[in-house]
Amino acid sequence: MTGLLSSPTNEDFLEQARHLVQDYPKTATWLEWWLRLAHASMLFESQRAMNIAVWDFIPDSTNTEEAMHWKLYSAAGRDHTFFEGLHSLHAVSLHYKRLYIAAQSKF
């Protein structure tokens, strides 16, 4: 068994998942969540949609995600009412859109 993390093909990946559920039935609901494409593509090689060169460039830690959360909280604030929060998130998204457009115009 090569395991879910490094299964070389989608078919092998699904076969590994079937064996896990067969051997450990109580993992079925937990594993089902991780088998969703949006989640599976974050962990399992055979489920990646991202270019391998980009994947290898991304840090192996969660610090990048945590840093982005910090940026969002710093820019948008916290503990807003629903509509204030939406307004703040929209303002943050406009900021990043402007940065993206500016970066694209340099090329």
Tell me: the pLDDT tens digits for 9-66?
889 999 999 999 999 999 999 999 999 988 888 888 888 888 878 877 777 776 777 8
Mean pLDDT of 69-92: 93
Listed by start position, the domains of the chain span 10-57, 63-105
* CA pseudo-torsion sign 48, 50, 61, 70: negative
CB neighbours of residue 15 within 10 Å = 14
Is the pTM of the predicted complex or chain greater than 0.95?
Answer: no
Q: What is the pLDDT of residue 107?
A: 67
Task: Quickly list H helices, the chain.
Answer: 10-23, 28-35, 37-43, 52-57, 63-76, 82-105
Task: Give dist(CA 68, CA 62) in Å, integer.
Answer: 10
Task: Give the tens place of pLDDT for each residue, 2-13.
Answer: 588 888 888 999
Mean pLDDT, range 67-87, rounded to an integer: 91
- Would you tell me how many other CB atoms lie within 10 Å of the CB of residue 99? 10
* Rounded alpha-carbon distances, angstroms, from residue 36 to 41, 63, 64: 8, 24, 23
